[in-house]
Structure 1
Amino acid sequence: MFQKISIFFLILSLFAEIIGTIGGFGSSVFFVPIASFFFDFQSVLGLTAIFHLSSNISKIALFRKGLNKKLLINIGIPSVVFVIIGGFLSNYIKTNLFQVILGVFLILFSLLFLIKKKLIIKPNLKESLIGGSLSGFTAGLLGTGGAIRGVTMAAFNLEKSVFIATSAAIDFAIDFTRTIVYFKNGYIHQHDLIYIPFLILIGLIGTYIGKYILQFIPQDKFKQTSLLLILLIGITTLIQFLFK
């Protein structure tokens, strides 16, 4: 069994989970490009959804005191609706153009909030609905929407435990929904299931390590850390597209 498993892939997945926890937006933004080097696109989507379910359960358990129910509803509901739309469209739409748009969007918005450090967007209904819709749609279509949600919540200037707990709860709803969609699409392949137990364990361990590291990052540096990671994701997304 172990001969069929890429240990290197699992190690990279652990790092993705740790960094995703520290950044507050989940591991999929790093896991998707990593998994793309080892699996076909449909397998990446299926594995990402299942992996993320376990890691988000861990985050909800470890950061549950910070859960913001209002944001959970305002961002979560449109996220779930649009992840279904994006998931079904992933069967019919070529994702290359959307990948470029996502990369440019992440770079521009992360730079905006890094340069304009005092710029804060109030977490009103309109802004929450837009951020949730975009996050859900890209999660369904491309396999990752956490970075868009991360930009949205960073703009709201949330306390780090609120940021992580609420983002994880929204992500859980997204992943549960898209797992069903991906299963119906035939993205969850039998030959990939060997990785599931390992990825579930990595989700638990990576989240715990990320939480431990977070206690050494002051609140005023947390937003900067998240935005820098999102900027890196945007650049990596474009580089990955250019070298396909």
Structure 2
Amino acid sequence: MRDLNYLFLFLALIAEILGTIGGFGSSVFFVPVANLYFDFESVLGLTAIYHLSSNISKIVLFKKGLNKKLLLHIGIPSVIFVIVGGLLTKLFKSTYLELFLAVFLIVLALVFLIKKELIILPNKKNAIIGGSLSGFSAGLLGTGGAIRGLTMAAFNLEKNMFIATSAFIDFLIDFSRTFVYYFNGFIHKDDLIYVPFLLVIGFVGTVIGKKILEFIPQDKFKRISLGLILVIGMVTLTNVLLS
């Protein structure tokens, strides 16, 4: 049984707070941070378990109603493609997946920072495409919340409804990929010591993020979040290239 790394737990809390406020979900921060401490297979397994608690917290705390139409149009393809992405992880070396993750984060952040006016038309076709891409990315790389967030932003939902609907979709994604990662052998016995702490952190971080969200304009904080994603992507890329 490994010893607890308290710095990692603190960074996991920060990831949950930032993910709640920025609207991307915590995995976009948690996955590259966890990757500094664990092998990539363990990161995927821990992320799925951690997110189950995180998303239940968001559903409870932001319960101002769900958008059932988006839940179907984005949620169903997300669940299908997270399973596909999760199964494909067995076909790639973890080093390649880490490299894909680093490039994904860097490109994602740069596109959103440079193309501030970037929008997706609010229709069923784009909702299904966005759900498919976010699910596939979540299964393969551990994070797909930013793609789903961009897709959902097109529908101009009220803030609480946005977070609750996104969290419910994310919960379905995490529930599905937890089984895939388990059968892939990504959930390791030595890592389970972190699970109780991460479940508590998921709830506490969501509560703190919700409180902060009341005082910070969403558009300004998203730029800060994107800047952090860019930095994390560059750190991840550097680690992969130097390893």
Bucket of the pairwise TM-score, normalised by the shorter protein:
0.7 to 0.9
Please say if residues 66 and 163 of structure 1, whose CA atoms lie closer than 8 Å, have aligned partners that are also in contact.
no
TM-score by length of 2: 0.87
Q: For 1:161 and 1:222, how far apart are their aligned partners in 2?
A: 17
The range that moved more, 92-101 or 206-215, is 92-101
Q: Which residue of 2 aligns with 1:48?
A: 47
Q: For 1:167 and 1:198, how far apart are their aligned partners in 2?
A: 23
Please say if residues 151 and 230 of structure 1, whose CA atoms lie closer than 8 Å, have aligned partners that are also in contact.
no
Please say if residues 32 and 233 of structure 2, whose CA atoms lie closer than 8 Å, have aligned partners that are also in contact.
no
SS at match of 2:62: helix
The range that moved more, 121-130 or 81-90, is 121-130
Q: Which residue of 1 aligns with 2:3?
A: 4
Q: Which residue of 1 aligns with 2:170?
A: 171
Size of the aligned set, in residue pairs, is: 243
Please say if residues 106 and 148 of structure 1, whose CA atoms lie closer than 8 Å, have aligned partners that are also in contact.
no
Cα distance, 1:145 vs. partner? 1.3
SS at match of 2:126: helix
Q: Which residue of 2 aligns with 1:58?
A: 57
Please say if residues 151 and 227 of structure 1, whose CA atoms lie closer than 8 Å, have aligned partners that are also in contact.
no
CA-based RMSD: 2.6
1:3–1:118: structure 2 CA closer, same or farther, 3 Å change rule? closer
1:204-219 superposed matches below 5 A: 204-218=203-217
Give a deviation string over 1:141-173, Cα, whole Å, max 9, x none. Answer: 111111222333345554432332121111100
Q: For 2:142 and 2:114, how far apart are their aligned partners in 1?
A: 29
Please say if residues 152 and 162 of structure 2, whose CA atoms lie closer than 8 Å, have aligned partners that are also in contact.
yes
TM-score by length of 1: 0.86
Q: Which residue of 2 aligns with 1:90?
A: 89
What amino acid maps onto 2:57 in structure 1? Answer: S
Q: For 2:61 and 2:242, how far apart are their aligned partners in 1?
A: 38
Q: Which residue of 2 aligns with 1:75?
A: 74
Give a deviation string over 1:30-75, Cα, whole Å, max 9, x none. Answer: 1111111211111111111000000000001111215222111111
Gaps of at least 5 residues in structure 1 are: none
The range that moved more, 95-104 or 48-57, is 95-104
* Identity in percent: 68
1:26–1:127: structure 2 CA closer, same or farther, 3 Å change rule? same
